[in-house]
Amino acid sequence: MHSKVSDPVGGGQLAGTADDPIGEDALPDTARLGVKLVVAGAFGVGKTTMVRSVSEIRPLVTEETMTQASLGVDSTAGVETKTTTTVAMDFGRITVDEEMILYLFGTPGQERFWFLWNGLFEGALGAVVLVDTRRLEESFGILEKLEESGTPFIVAINTFPDSVSYSTDEVRQALDLPPGVPIVECDARRRDSSRDALLTLMHHLQKLADASELP
C-alpha cells in the first residue's frame, strides 16, 4: 500500500465550490500525489453518471449511441431509457487538497469489452463497485475480477426509482461479500453522494493501509 496516503481525504472536502462547481482550473503546481481509482460495475449501473457528477474536469467519455445492432447484445432490462453506451472508458479528476489528485477510471460494462480491462486495475489503489439491486447477479463477474487482481473495493448501491430497498446485510449476503467490505447507498447523479462513496473508499484504503503497517 502506498505509504503516502496517510491523510487521503483532508478535511473530507473535495475541490469545487458553489460558484465554480466544476473547478476546471489547471492542476495546482503543489500537486504531488496522483491516486488512481476505478469506478466499476455492470452495464447501465451508473458508472458514467458517477464519473460525470463528481469530476471537476469535463470527463473524457467515449459514449456512443447504441445502435440497433447492439440492442440484442447489451442487456437494457431495467435501463430502457439508456441510449448511449461507454465504448472505452470514462475518465475524471478530483482535487482532494493541494497535494492529492484522484484520477477516476470508469470500466466498460459490457463483457465484450472486457479485454480492455487488462491493466485497468494496475496501479489502482481501489475501486467503487456500483451495483443495481434489480440486477445484482450482473455484478458477480466484476467482483470476481477485483478479487482476483487483489484490488480493494467498496460496494455502492445505486438506487433507481423502482429498486426494491434491501438492507446492506442482505446485499452483502447476496453478493457474498466479506464483512470488511464497506457497503453504501448512493445516487450517482448527485455530486455529494458520489463524493461520499469515494470518501468511503478512501477511508477503507486508509484502514487497510494502517492494518498492514501493524507489527
Ligand X SMILES: Nc1nc2c(ncn2[C@@H]2O[C@H](COP(=O)(O)OP(=O)(O)O)[C@@H](O)[C@H]2O)c(=O)[nH]1
**Residues 6 or more apart from 146 whose CB is under 8 A from it?**
40, 121, 127, 129, 153
Nearest distance in Å: CB 175, Mg ion: 21
d(CA 80, CA 83): 8
Using the contact rule CB under 5 A, the part of the chain among 44-52, 64-72, 134-142, 202-210 near Mg ion is 44-52
Q: Which residues of 123-160 are buried (b: 16+ CB within 10 A; e: fewer)?
A: ebbbbbbbbbbebbebbeebbebbeeeebbbbbbbbbb
For ligand X, the binding residue among 8, 16, 44, 152 (CB under 6 A) is: 44
User: 206 near 16, Cβ under 8 Å?
Assistant: no
d(CA 23, CA 16): 5
Nearest distance in Å: CB 11, ligand X: 26
Nearest distance in Å: CB 1, ligand X: 28
CB closer to ligand X, 134 vs 172: 134
Size of the site for Mg ion (CB under 5 A): 3
By CB under 6 A, residue 86 contacts ligand X: yes
Per-residue binding letters, 112-151, with ligand X (x by CB under 6 A):
----------------------------------------
By CB under 6 A, residue 189 contacts ligand X: yes
For ligand X, the binding residue among 11, 72, 161, 178 (CB under 6 A) is: 161
How many residues comprise the chain?
215
Per-residue binding letters, 83-112, with Mg ion (x by CB under 5 A):
---x--------------------------
d(CA 37, CA 95): 13
Chain residues that interact with ligand X, rule: CB under 6 A: 41, 43-49, 79, 81-82, 86, 109, 158-161, 187-189
